[in-house]
Chain A
Amino acid sequence: MKRCPSCNHLADDAQKFCTIDGTPLVNVAPEPVAARAAAPPDADGPIQRIQCQWCRAMNDKTALNCRACAAPLDIQDLVSESGWREAPRIRDMAEMHFGNSTCQVEGEIVPVAEINLAPGDSVFFEHHVLLWKDDNTPLGVMQLQGGMKRALAGMPFIISLAQGPGRVAFSRDQTGELVVLPLHPGMELDVREHAFLLASHHISYSYVRIKGLRNILFGGQGMFMDRFVTTSAPGLLILHGYGNVFERVLNAGESILVEPGAFLYKDSAVTMDVQPQQLTTGFFGGQSMNLAKMTGPGRVGIQSMYVHHRTD
């Protein structure tokens, strides 16, 4: 196993450079979870830390949930034999930290992200995901470029901003999971439009136009995808996936075919190209099926309930 010294991304031994930021990888020997759990709490020697298997953040050895993404630290990752890793089921009322603020995840069927914003911290979001807020939590609007293009493409051209101090809570309109993605500096993530719930103000938000007419018409994403970029400071991005969410890391040149409506997020290095599949039968013609060919290197996230829910 190798690790990126810059963003802590883990990679296979065969890889030399990080698929996220291109930094040369270094060898690591991850400590088994069982061994960590068995370690006596008052052992002498260097301070033991637990690395979160989902976001790679380091945590105190007594922590039950990751401080950065709230993933349970005492439960092994669920990985299918085909290589998909299930997004961690965040415990009800688990808490995560970003900047000087906290986020508590409440509920398990349609989870709520409740943010306690510290002074100086802020989060941005699409206005229709707002569930409740304190009377005194200030709301504002984030300036965006290309407002006309976004409006024409059916994307929100106003992104709302909640500033601390105060509490504000967010949820979506269907059964699903919160996917917490702490972004390390220098990361770029593409997200299906309308799938993001909130992001901290350290993350810069833009959009990327989907290339190719076939991808626009049959890709199930519309014309644009949201792009989230961190420059110098880390940030917190929370998505809402419909149904269950699974992630897979593709090696360079490795491809997989995905139902376009199931696509949730990907590293910007992953390319997407729609491939039509013709299914015909005799006199009645047939049906065509379009699948998105995702090619690595990088992460791909999908949601199992993939109907496209329109939002206004």
Chain B
Amino acid sequence: MQQPSLSPQRSYTCPWCTTTSDGTRLACPGCGVSINVRENVTESGWIELPGRKDMAKIQFGDSYCQIEGELVPVADMSLAATDSVYFAHHVLLWMDTQVRVSAMSLKGAWKRMLAGMPLIMTQAQGPGHIAFSRDASGELIALPLQPGQAIDVREHLFLVATSDVTYDWFQTGVWFTTRSGDDTETHYPLGMFMDRFTAPQKPGLLLLHAGGNAFIRTLAPMQSILVKPTALLFKDPTVQMQLHFEYPRTNSWSPWMSWSHRQLWLRLFGPGRVAVQSAYEPIEDNGRTISRHSNATNRQW
């Protein structure tokens, strides 16, 4: 992450999304972040999502998106006739009557249905206004994608993307099974699938909704960090993931590896960016012994 920079020609490069603008604007046209606002960086190296003024505008194609509100922000898009966006239908807040919506079919429908992921995406074609929001307080994250750039996003966090961004998904490969007698249950702490968004040829815009506040950091090659699996927001495709179990020592008697004493983590390896959200769902547990798991490390304290 770079510091904001004004070149002698008064051009401005946004430290968040690296979009270059002419330096006369109050907000970055690529992501809406206020210009020349000092970054909030924690002592541990996490960068807080930079501030964005209410009603800030983001440009894409011949269209723009206005971010409205600060508790549960709304992405209000003014679509030009040549532009379209796609989204999961439950994030739609309102739209003009002339906006055309249609279904965008996805590959692997059967697997997606089994995994509880949306079976279809909805596509909206301009001209007209259409607005999106989620059902929890948090922040809107605008990620302009440059040609060739891709980003991996945890499931159900995606809000809306422009049609220049392709949507794909892949198996997370992060799982463990618990057993009780003959009963075996498979758990996916990250979800069975992750979304991958790519801008193959043209730049595109991806909007996510983070629960609570969002923080980002860049990991060096082979640098790792432990995060709660459901706190993961997005990562660069170069970042690798695996499970990590910890067993804190306890004075009271308990069966070894009992759920009540173990901590479940997601280990992320660099190089690349990782982002987390501060409000995340607790992982469901059934208190049973782990019988098998994907590649993982463990530690006893």
Contact = CB atoms under 8 A, between A and B. Distances in A.
B119 A287 contact: yes
B69 A259 contact: no
Contacts of B201: none
Contact of A242 (B72, B78, B109, B119): B72
Contacts of B68: 78, 80, 84, 86, 244, 246, 304
A78 B57 CA distance: 13
Interface stretch (A130-138, A147-155, A274-282): A274-282
Contacts of B129: 82
B120 interface: yes
A279 B102 contact: yes
Classify chain B: how many residues form its interface, as a range: 35 or more
A258 B101 contact: no
Interface string B91-105: 011111100011111
Contact of A257 (B70, B96, B102): B96
Contacts of A304: 68-69, 71-74, 93, 133
B72 A305 contact: yes
Contact of B120 (A78, A243, A277, A287): A287
Contact of B73 (A84, A244, A293, A307): A244
Contacts of B97: 255-257, 293
Interface in B129-182: 129, 131, 133-137
Interface string A260-282: 00100000000000000101111
Interface of A: 78, 80-82, 84, 86, 109, 175-177, 242-244, 246, 255-259, 262, 277, 279-284, 286-287, 289, 291, 293, 302, 304-307
Given A243-B137, A305-B136, 9 more contacts: A176-B71, A177-B71, A243-B133, A244-B68, A256-B95, A284-B113, A286-B119, A291-B94, A306-B133
29 contacts: A80-B55, A80-B68, A80-B76, A82-B66, A82-B131, A86-B55, A243-B137, A244-B68, A255-B97, A256-B94, A256-B97, A257-B97, A262-B94, A262-B133, A279-B102, A279-B103, A281-B105, A281-B119, A286-B120, A289-B89, A291-B95, A304-B72, A304-B74, A304-B133, A305-B135, A305-B136, A305-B137, A306-B93, A306-B135
